[in-house]
Amino acid sequence: MKKPIVLVIMDGVGKGDGGSGDAVKVANTPNLDKLFAQCPYTWLKAHGTAVGLPSDEDMGNSEVGHNALGCGQVYSQGAKLVGESIENGSLFASNTWIDLAKNCAENGKAMHFIGLLSDGNVHSNISHLLALLRHAKQDGVKKAFCHILLDGRDVPATSALEYVQQLEDVLAELSDAEHTYKIASGGGRMQVTMDRYEANWAMVETGWKTHVRAEGRQFPDAKTAIETYREELGCIDQDLPAFVIAENGEPVAKIENGDSVVLFNFRGDRAQEISLAFDRKDFDKFDRGDYTGVKFAGMLQYDGDLNIPENYLVQPPVITNTLTEVLCAHGIKEYALSETQKYGHVTYFWNGNRSGKVDEALEVYEEIPSDVIPFDQAPAMKAVEITEKMVENMASKKFDFLRCNFPNGDMVGHTGSMEAVITAMEYVDKGLGAILEAAEKYGYTVCITADHGNADQMTETKKGKTSVRTAHSLNPVPFIIWDPDTKYEIKDGEYGLANVAPTIVKMMGFEAPACWEKSMI
């Protein structure tokens, strides 16, 4: 091992077209520019089949991206796993699904579906929900209600009505004199239910009151709710407030004690908190009212070590032979750092969907609490604090492998504010410059990469109309090696995120597991 290694992950920073909507290019980033001018680099595929998703039309995301970065392998993920399970029928043959459906068919209970209503394939896919609804009717479920979370983040910013219409058409098809299938509640994903990493429990509580207790502003249907809020507030879909569907002044449905409930999101980070609220008897994050329990299941188990949730419909991938396992086997001391918004990505997802550490004696994880504030209002996020901690730990020389994640390009990118994203990128670049300065001072090799694109494509043009883009991009991401003392050469080839781990291992002089992708050097 020539030098200890630092890996910097610039979350949401890909290769844009260099135009006015490419915030990475528009921003003043002298350190990044210098790296591209002077260092060996290549571009990594960070979406679709390269990260285990069904097709190359599927955008990557931070979870599968960090799985690939930290594991050196490509596993079937999220949408692909669920799609396979629906297609081969194993989901509906699972004990969990049978129990949920039987509870409704034999006990007269309702089945509720909560989740993100889009085909973004990042957190969910509307096709999965429609398949669940159709099979519910086949299995004797007479009452089914949908609690829809509006996207506008992984899909176009104001596309919600398209998905609502798809759902309404199927609900009408399934409803008859004996079957009631309806939308019951909803709201924008950044306003209700889908918080992550316990950054904003009030958001989850709002979702609970909306979906479970049917408390909130009432509308005759979801279309009216969306159109009314848009006219009144000018919001894009992800920011629309909560709404309750009512008929004759009464909510269409509440989630009653004893009902069956499915959270049909497959991605784990924004599914865990609402799962805990349904699952845990000792839950104390907010008052659940007279709630005594339901039959609850997630689409996947979102955290196996923490058993969240206890019941789920599709078995998650079991990822072994991770980079952390390899390094711990060689006695390498590691340090992982980010702020709350991406802390789980450099720990849980990095380690193959495993909570905790492989070796307590060799690993140190540090989380900087994120502020609960719209990211476009504070685009620096915790970049300054992350930089300071990284430099401090590099100076300590306690660790042979250090990794950090700057969330700015992704989290601010999702707001759609070009001005804020430019500022965010400039803070990341300043942090990168300080880390490179410390690396030169203390003797480190630095690798710079990203998990997917976002800030690189802030606008999109369709049918001649240009609009704000808030979703991840399909663009490749950089992999750069900075080391003025060692002349690394990146071999020609097509690479993805899973090629990063074997490259790091080769730099350290270790042998990669046979199941890994190839090294780039």
Catalytic machinery residues: 62
- Residue 104, C-beta contacts closer than 8 angstroms, at least 6 positions apart: 110, 111, 136, 140, 141, 142, 143, 259, 260
Query: How distant is the alpha carbon of residue 93 from its chain centre?
Result: 28
Kindly report the backbone phi and psi dihedral angles of residue 133, in degrees, each rounded to the nearest multiple of 5, phi listed first: -65, -45
Amino acid at 18: G
Q: Which two tokens stand for residue 139?
A: 């299995």
- C-alpha to C-alpha distance for 112 and 149, rounded to whole angstroms: 13
**Rounded Cα distance, 47 and 65, in Å:** 8
Distance CA 339, CA 420 (A): 19
Give 191's DSSP letter. T
Alpha carbon separation from 222 to 164, 237, 453 (Å, rounded): 7, 12, 32
> What DSSP letter does each residue of 359-405 carry, written as one string?
-TTTEEEEEEPPPSS-TTTSTTTTHHHHHHHHHHHHHHT--SEEEEE
User: How far apart are the C-alpha atoms of 378 and 461, rounded to whole Å?
Assistant: 28
- Cβ neighbours, 10 Å, residue 329: 12
Q: Report yes or no: 406 and 434 within 8 Å, Cβ to Cβ.
A: no
DSSP string, 201-234: HHHHHHHHHHHTS--S-EESSHHHHHHHHHHHH-
Amino acid occupying residue 146: C
Encode 73-137 in three state secondary structure. CCCCCHHHHHHHHHHHCHHHHCHHHHHHHHHHHHHCCCEEEEEEECCCCCCCCHHHHHHHHHHHH
CA 177, CA 229: separation in Å to the nearest integer? Answer: 33
The span from the CA of 179 to the CA of 113, in Å, is 16
For 346, which DSSP code? I
The helix or strand, by DSSP H or E, that contains position 186, with its residue range, turns out to be: strand 180-188
Token couple for 128: 């999965």
d(CA 106, CA 442): 68
Instruction: Compute the distance between CA of residue 350 and CA of residue 345 in angstroms, rounded to an integer.
Output: 6
Determine how β-strand 218-219 pairs with β-strand 465-468. Answer: unpaired
User: What are the φ/ψ torsions at residue 485 (nearest 5 degrees)?
Assistant: -100, -20
Count the residues in the chain.
521
**Hey, which residues does 331 pair with through a beta bridge?**
none
